[in-house]
A and B are shown apart, each in its own frame.
Chain A
Amino acid sequence: MKSLAELDKLREKLQEEMRLREGKEEVKVVVTMGTCGIASGAREVLTAILEEIGKRGLKGVTVTQTGCAGLCHCEPLVEVERPGRDKVTYGHVDEKKAREIVVSHLVNGQIIKEWAIK
């Protein structure tokens, strides 16, 4: 560490990884992981989402899981909740779609309507 600026830069990066323990939620991405979800590949979807968020340095996103939502035929499901907006639920998500959801919905704020469940 050669300067204070270097420390600041490092801290910013590290803070994102520690944000989980602060309990302040901003954007929430929920992957339904009941038996049905896991069987149809929810785990791979979740890992892909985490990876993509990390790669792009997105801030203020909590990724979490929940149980079966009852829409087993649409699994894996991914819900995106942004404060003050309606929850959007995507069905039949795979790894590729998951990455695109991160880019399009979380980064650019564009809901991918054709994948969303109405």
Chain B
Amino acid sequence: MELYRAHVLVCAGAGCISSGCQAVKSALEESIDRLGLKREVKVVETGCMGPCDLGPVIVVYPEGVFYRQLKPADAVEIAEEHLLKGRVVERLLYKAPENGKTAVTSDQIDFFKKQTRIALRNTGIINPESVEEYIARDGYRALGKVLTSMTPEEVIECIKKSGLRGRGGAGFPTGLKWEFSAKAPGKPRYVVCNADEGDPGAFMDRSILEGDPHSVLEAMAICGYAIGSSQGYVYVRAEYPLAVQRLSLAIEKAREYGLLGQNIFGTGFSFDVEIRVGAGAFVCGEETALLASIEGRRGEPRPRPPFPAQEGLWGKPTVINNVETWANIPPIILNGPEWFASIGTEKSKGTKVFALAGKVNNTGLVEVPMGTTLREIIFDIGGGIPGGKQFKAAQTGGPSGGCIPARYLDVPVDYESLTQLGAIMGSGGLIIMDEDTCMVDLARFFLEFVQDESCGKCSPCRIGTKRMLEIVERITRGEGRDGDIELLEELGQGIKSSALCGLGQTAPNPVLSTIRHFREEYEAHIYHKKCPAGVCRALMVYAIDAEKCNGCGRCALVCPAKAISGEKKKPHRIDVEKCLRCGTCMEKCKFGAIYTI
């Protein structure tokens, strides 16, 4: 590395890549070259900075100026104005949607201001392909510290004292897990990183792997020292090509520097990491299925106990933690367990990363202390609901989780409070829904997902979720029957208590939690044959407002079922029997005369 007068950070998270950051970056680099600034200005690709809906974004240091939604031409302007002449390009700064206030630097934006970044401490700040930048930000110092000044027992004690719990969903105390493995008989032992993130809408783990891969490698090596293991595996899905690529590069660089491999820091400790690429089956996120997949067998779960900590990979003691959990380890070692335990709530320590998605203004990646309320996450950081619509519910934990209705917006988010509400912390997917979302349809979506992803090994999950899906589908078609709700509840409880693994045991959650909080919506579908949110097509009736219709005939022209008739220049009408409920007429009507009941 060399000294530059300015660093330009280009976000190259998957979100920004898909909104075109590579073209912006090459325009920027070309301009810098053309203007002769190559020796003064350094362009750096980073991992996800978080505000994905503002992409492509860049930040110019030392001032820290934050530019958003850039096109290649904008990048040229930034190079000519800001980088060459030192003038900030006002036009490209962020403006708060609620009051139009311009923010020059990212710390003036609410989205960033209210976050506490531990797991994401480097993501969006360093170049993930440069081990040097990671080292400059205290990288591998924690590994050095444990290898030279701590015993394995002290490391485990430190993690236990910090109160860190698994970020993959279930929230098992991490230190305890390590201790079980360290004390279990059998050698060799293994360290595994679960990067098989599969919840729809969740991308926390991907962003960490893409933005700060070394933090995971360092943490795995620390665990290797603590439990007496010299081999780690990262199980990552093939759908994350960029994560696989950056992680491979990180492993290569770490080996080059001697931070992985034989005799690390001359202490005699050896540890290496290999990548195992999964084919993307959802069930492989379940730890026993994941281990089976690493071993080269079919990705199917097995009953626990024995837990992987005792009998894991090839029957040997194995610590398996999720990506975000790993990313928390180095700062805990460096700053001490007391520091970590001072953040969060009594039983949930530290921070949690959430992937904000759905009907929210600022979609993206956020990290907040445990115990932050949903209201703060959705309205202060997320910027509220677009289009002035009402917030209806938030879905946490993906297909294993549940929904939280508006009346619980002020509940502090931690493991216990979410479980109490019938949802779970999960891996951190947070899908926001507004008044236009039908909760029955939502339950159907998740049920369809788990039904599709069920591995089929145990019957409660294989057959039970199928039967539940059939019932829910029937309800959305307007063919719901008296007793369906109770039947769903009974089936759900049965599957929960008898399925083999976490996938099946949590699969009924979206249905059960929507019944619990939105029972009236199910009843409206079943008894009144109505979808209050206007989503379930089969339950909608299209009609024409005779007062607004001037008989232009556009609707009749586009109707694929020829269900609309009427004389020219006179109000038309829709034949309910023939109507397919496709909604094309509504889209085409220029006078807003077509409505649904």
Contacts and interface: CB of A to CB of B under 8 A. Distances in A.
Nearest to B149: A4
A9 B133 CA distance: 14
B39 A50 contact: yes
A83 interface: no
* Contact-residue size bin, chain B (C-beta under 8 Å from the other chain): 35 or more
Interface in A61-113: 62-67
A54 B42 CA distance: 15
A50 B40 contact: yes
Interface string A31-66: 001100000000100110011011000000011111
Given A14-B1, A20-B62, A2 B266 contact: yes
B3 A50 contact: yes
A64 B5 contact: yes
Interface stretch (B134-142, B238-246, B472-480, B502-510): B134-142
B62 A64 contact: yes
Contacts of B266: 2-3
Greatest chain A CB density within 10 A among B4, B84, B133, B135 is at B135
B87 A4 contact: no
Given A67-B86, A67-B87, A2 B265 contact: yes
A64 to B, nearest CB: 6
Interface string B439-465: 000000000000000000000000000
B86 A50 contact: no
Contacts of B79: none
Contacts of B1: 14, 17-18
A4 B144 contact: yes
Interface string B387-425: 000000000000000000000000000000000000000
A27 B259 CA distance: 34
Nearest to A18: B136
A46 B39 CA distance: 10
B265 A46 contact: no
A10 interface: yes
B62 A23 contact: yes
A7 B5 contact: no
Interface residues of A, number: 32
A14 B3 CA distance: 10
A65 B61 CA distance: 12
Contact of B86 (A11, A16, A65): A65
B125 A21 contact: yes
Interface string B147-160: 11000000000000
B138 A47 contact: no
A18 B6 contact: no
B4 to A, nearest CB: 7
Interface string B215-259: 000000000000000000000000000000000000000000111
A46 B40 contact: yes
B100 to A, nearest CB: 25
B148 A54 contact: no
A11 B265 contact: no
Contact of A25 (B9, B39, B62, B148): B62
Interface string B118-138: 000000011000001101111
A14 B257 CA distance: 14
Interface string B97-128: 00000000000000000000000000001100
Given A2-B265, A65-B86, A20 B7 contact: yes
A47 B87 CA distance: 20
A7 B148 CA distance: 13
A1 B221 CA distance: 15
B36 A43 contact: yes
Contact of A1 (B40, B136, B265): B265
Contact of B147 (A4, A8, A33, A53): A4
Contacts of A33: 84-86
Contacts of B3: 16-17, 50-51, 53-54, 63
Given A1-B258, A53-B3, A67-B85, A14 B133 contact: yes
B124 to A, nearest CB: 11
Nearest to B264: A1
B334 to A, nearest CB: 12
Given A7-B140, A20-B4, A62 B39 contact: no
A21 B61 contact: yes
Please list the 3 inter-chain residue pairs (A to B) with the smallest Cβ-Cβ separation, ordered nearest first.
A14-B136, A1-B258, A4-B144
17 contacts: A4-B147, A7-B265, A11-B138, A11-B141, A17-B4, A17-B136, A18-B1, A18-B133, A18-B136, A21-B61, A34-B85, A47-B40, A62-B5, A64-B86, A65-B86, A66-B86, A67-B85
Given A2-B266, A8-B141, 11 more contacts: A1-B257, A7-B135, A11-B138, A17-B2, A17-B136, A18-B1, A20-B4, A33-B86, A50-B39, A53-B3, A67-B85
